[in-house]
Amino acid sequence: MHIRVDGLTHIYARGTPAERVALRGVNLEIGPGERVGISGPTGSGKSTLVQHIAGLLVPTAGQVLLDGVPAHARTPEARTRRRQVGLAFQFPEAQMFEVTVFREVAFGPRHLGLNTDEIAARVRWALEMVGLDPEAFADRVPFALSGGEMRRVALAGILALQPRVLILDEPTAGLDPRGRADILARLRAWQAQTGATLILVSHHLDEMAGLVDRVVLLADGQVVADGPTRQVLGDGDGLRSVGLSPPPSIALLEALRAAGWPVRTDAVDIEEVVAEIVPCMADQYHTKTQGHRERDNKLYRE
């Protein structure tokens, strides 16, 4: 699906004392199959923007076009497209209500008018996609699961709709590091298998780095940066200027560079960071030993 955000402005509680401008003329295009991260400080408009992409809000001005059709329109074409956009809010498990895992995941597909066999096949596929064994989990009570398992069930419920666009708002919030790494790996595999568009809203820039190819930064309702992940996250000053802290990898490389080391400062992966540092250490070591040898030679000659 092709997403085009066109001069999108959103004002909450317009004309009241609580009026707040959440988006100010945002323009953005996201092509089919792109993996995009959206970040920005609290209150920058991230959540409002993705709710518009899902067609859940009516713009104050401008519009969002999904394959050329206004996302919020009350037409059959718009409804069809909205159905292909899956949006998971933060803590999606808080919205679960069914009595078994199977029924929870089947809820969406049932409302798509699929027959029983198709629904069962989708539930099985979605549970496998999130790493839960359908045999072991289908009949369990969702609320008796661990936090990480509940998160995965909630995610399976959205994947079972087979969206062409999946929007996730802080999908790893509240999970322990192992749970976080697992969810991210599942999402990566799902995206590779389906070729769908993935939009990840997150405060965690380092987490984002492994999953998206492009990062859009919002600040005060406007797009302030939009480019390849490395370029946006590697711009420490740009991040700081909107009140975001650069990932620790960037902070470390910046500190070394400030001390005169010839390192790139846009390495976002821990192995890349190590690969930047190792040659510098080798050079330093070399310089030092060479210094010692010259001194030794000099002593010898004397």
Partner 1 sequence: MTPPFIQTVHLEHTYAAEDGRAIPALRGIDLTIHRGEFVALVGPNGSGKSTLARHFNALLLPTAGEVWVDGLSTSDPRHVQAIRQRVGMVFQNPDNQIVAGTVEEDVAFGPENMGIPPAEIRWRVDEALEVVGMTDYRHHPPHMLSGGQKQRVAIAGALATRPHCIVLDEPTSMLDAEGRRQVLQTIRRLNAELGLTIILITQSMDEAALARRVLVMDGGRIVRDGPPEEVLEAPEVEGLGLGRPFATEVARRLRERGIPLPSGLLTVEALAAALLRE
Binding site for partner 1 (CB under 8 A): 41-43, 90, 141, 143-144, 146-148, 170, 173-179, 181, 203, 205-206, 243-245, 248-249, 251-252, 255-256, 259, 270-271, 273-274, 277-278, 281, 284
Buried b (16+ CB within 10 A) or exposed e, 86-123: bbbbebbbeebebeebbbbbbbbbeeeebeeeebbebb
CA 201 to chain centre: 5
Give the three-state DSSP class for 27.
Answer: strand
Task: Between 61 and 251, name the residue whose CB sits nearer to partner 1.
Answer: 251
Tell me the closest approach of the beta carbon of residue 223 to partner 1, in angstroms.
Answer: 17
Task: Between 259 and 299, name the residue whose CB sits nearer to partner 1.
Answer: 259
CA 208 to chain centre: 5
Beta bridge partners of 87: 167
Task: Between 39 and 162, name the residue whose CB sits nearer to partner 1.
Answer: 39
Give the three-state DSSP class for 204.
Answer: coil
Tell me the closest approach of the beta carbon of residue 133 to partner 1, in angstroms.
Answer: 19
Tell me the closest approach of the beta carbon of residue 115 to partner 1, in angstroms.
Answer: 33
Tell me the closest approach of the beta carbon of residue 25 to partner 1, in angstroms.
Answer: 23
Task: Between 6 and 98, name the residue whose CB sits nearer to partner 1.
Answer: 98
Tell me the closest approach of the beta carbon of residue 140 to partner 1, in angstroms.
Answer: 12
**DSSP secondary structure letters along 126-175:** HHHHTT--HHHHTTS-GGGS-HHHHHHHHHHHHHTT--SEEEEESTTTT-
Task: Between 8 and 201, name the residue whose CB sits nearer to partner 1.
Answer: 201
From 110, 104, 2, select the one nearest 53 (Cα to Cα).
2
From 187, 140, 182, select the one nearest 168 (Cα to Cα).
187
Tell me the closest approach of the beta carbon of residue 175 to partner 1, in angstroms.
Answer: 7
Q: Phi first, then psi: give them for residue 139, nearest 5 degrees.
A: -95, 5
Task: Between 13 and 299, name the residue whose CB sits nearer to partner 1.
Answer: 13
